[in-house]
């Protein structure tokens, strides 16, 4: 498996959920992977396992809400590997509240990670990719089905994810002539710790999980591996003519709604 052979890739939020699956999948496909997260123990364990399986991965403590951390992450990558080919802006948090329930501090915290963090990750990643010349690079931003449709009691989350859709289009417009592509993956309900935390806030978590699965045409929630394989596609050369797009990986959630 070598769809990403010789590519240097950063994945934020790589210590759990979809990010973890992407780190593992990228490692299996031959990429040199930098996993970035604030959860050091889990993050390090995952890259150790990738390396034990024959991959090439390192962990870097990074808080994407802090621009200095993002800059240090990019600088360390360039110093260690000499280039940056792929950046996956995956880190994200969730707040389950309506518009009127959301406090200013909660909104600012969510936006600092989900939207502001992604924006500045992409900014500094593109700056690094511009040094690649004609080789360019690929930006993959983790959006959501909620980049396209809204769900009750997720006002700030939907706001942030909707903005990411336009972020990749803007990058595609501004840097397409440099062969830098940018695309957004928009998953439906995926079995992750983030989804688990959401279900636990519901009166009947088991019923809420079953209801979520039934919302999809495939009548189930997705797996992190299914999303990770889509990230491999967008990161690699098989998607060389794909940019500014939103890849909806939602098991038919939006279609059924």
pLDDT at 112 over 70: yes
pLDDT of residue 111: 98
CATH superfamily of 8-190+223-256: NAD(P)-binding Rossmann-like Domain (3.40.50.720)
Domain boundaries, given as residue ranges, for the chain: 8-190+223-256
Radius of gyration of the chain (CA): 17
The residue to which tokens 């604030």 are assigned:
38
pLDDT tens digit string along 35-89? Answer: 999 999 999 999 999 999 999 999 999 999 999 999 999 999 999 999 999 999 9
In 3D space, the residue among 150, 215, 161, 160 whose CA is nearest the CA of residue 184 turns out to be 161
pLDDT of residue 55: 97
Angle at alpha carbon of residue 123, lines to 116 and 164, rounded to 5°: 45
Q: How far apart are CA 35 and CA 47, in angstroms?
A: 7
pLDDT at 196 over 90: no
Residue 157 annotated to the active site = yes
Tell me the CA distances in angstroms from 53 to 19, 28, 35, 160, one per residue in order: 18, 8, 16, 36
* 136, two tokens: 């360019």
pLDDT at 241 over 90: yes
pLDDT at 257 over 90: no
* 120, two tokens: 């500045």
User: Among 157, 175, 189, 198, which one carries the catalytic annotation?
Assistant: 157
pLDDT of residue 195: 85
* 46, two tokens: 């995952």
Angle at alpha carbon of residue 24, lines to 132 and 226, rounded to 5°: 100
In 3D space, the residue among 233, 117, 133 whose CA is nearest the CA of residue 180 turns out to be 133
pLDDT at 1 over 80: no
Average pLDDT, the chain: 96
pLDDT of residue 51: 98
pLDDT tens digit string along 165-187? Answer: 999 999 999 999 999 999 999 99
pLDDT at 197 over 90: no
- List residues bridging with 232 in a β-sheet: none
């Amino acid at each position: 498996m070598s769809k990403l052979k010789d590519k240097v890739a950063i994945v934020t939020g790589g210590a759990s959920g979809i990010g973890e699956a992407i780190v593992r999948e990228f490692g299996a496909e031959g990429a040199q992977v930098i996993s970035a997260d604030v959860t050091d123990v889990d993050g390090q364990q995952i890259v150790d396992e990738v390396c034990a399986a024959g991959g090439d991965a390192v962990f870097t403590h990074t808080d994407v809400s802090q621009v200095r951390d993002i800059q240090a992450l990019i600088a360390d990558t360039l110093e260690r590997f000499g280039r940056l080919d792929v950046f996956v802006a995956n880190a994200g948090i969730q707040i389950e509240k309506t518009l009127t329930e959301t406090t200013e501090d909660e909104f600012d915290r969510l936006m600092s990670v989900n939207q502001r963090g992604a924006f500045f990750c992409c900014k500094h990643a593109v700056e690094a990719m511009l040094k690649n010349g004609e080789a360019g690079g690929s930006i993959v931003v983790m959006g959501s089905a909620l980049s396209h449709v809204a769900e009750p009691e997720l006002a700030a989350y939907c706001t942030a994810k909707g903005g990411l859709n336009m972020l990749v289009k803007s990058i595609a417009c501004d840097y397409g002539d440099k062969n830098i592509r940018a695309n957004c993956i928009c998953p439906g309900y995926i079995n992750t710790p983030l989804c688990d935390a959401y279900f636990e806030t519901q009166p009947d978590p088991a019923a809420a999980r079953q209801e979520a699965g039934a919302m999809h045409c495939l009548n189930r929630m997705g797996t992190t591996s299914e999303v990770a394989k889509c990230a491999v596609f967008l990161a690699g050369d098989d998607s060389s003519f794909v940019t500014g797009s939103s890849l909806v990986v939602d098991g038919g959630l939006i279609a059924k709604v």
